[in-house]
Amino acid sequence: MEILGATLRICVDDLDTAVPFYEKLAGGQALRFERGGVSVAAVGCFLLMSGPEAELDVLRKVSATIAVQDVDEAHRVLTDSGAHVLAGPVVTPVGRNLIAMHPDGYVYEYVDRRAAA
């Protein structure tokens, strides 16, 4: 499995206020979408999230988002290596993802940019 990069997950109180700072910092425009009642803005290596506190509490448990070429391959490698897949793979607005707990207890999101087959 090839890891293409990682994204820092940041929960913010006000997405509209936070986005301009991170756009300037990352030198690019945010890709914005909604998921499960949470407003999301992806800009550079940052994933900004804002929404109901109950939803954010769940999202804070995920240490980072890891970009991979293929989530199905990541699923195989993770489970073969002793990780426990908690959710997914599922289709998202920007590709597919899964949530996995590594044997050390840390939880990560794995994402690709592939459309649903």
Would residue 71 count as lying in a domain?
Answer: yes
Does 39 fall in a domain?
Answer: yes
| Confidence at residue 93, expressed as pLDDT on a 0 to 100 scale | 74
Q: pTM for the full model? A: 0.80
DSSP 3-state of 78? helix
Structural domain includes residue 52:
yes
Say if 117 falls within a structural domain: no
Is there a domain that residue 48 lies in? yes
Number of independent structural domains in the chain: 1
Q: Which residue from 104, 64, 62, 70 is spatially nearest to 86, judged by alpha carbons?
A: 62
Q: Which amino acid is at 71?
A: V
pLDDT tens digit sequence for 79-112: 999 999 999 899 987 789 999 999 999 999 999 9
Host domain of residue 40 = 3-112
pLDDT greater than 60 at residue 116: no
79 falls within a domain: yes
Kindly report, residue by residue over 59-70, the tens digit of the pLDDT: 899 999 999 999
Q: What is the CATH number of the domain that holds 37?
A: 3.10.180.10
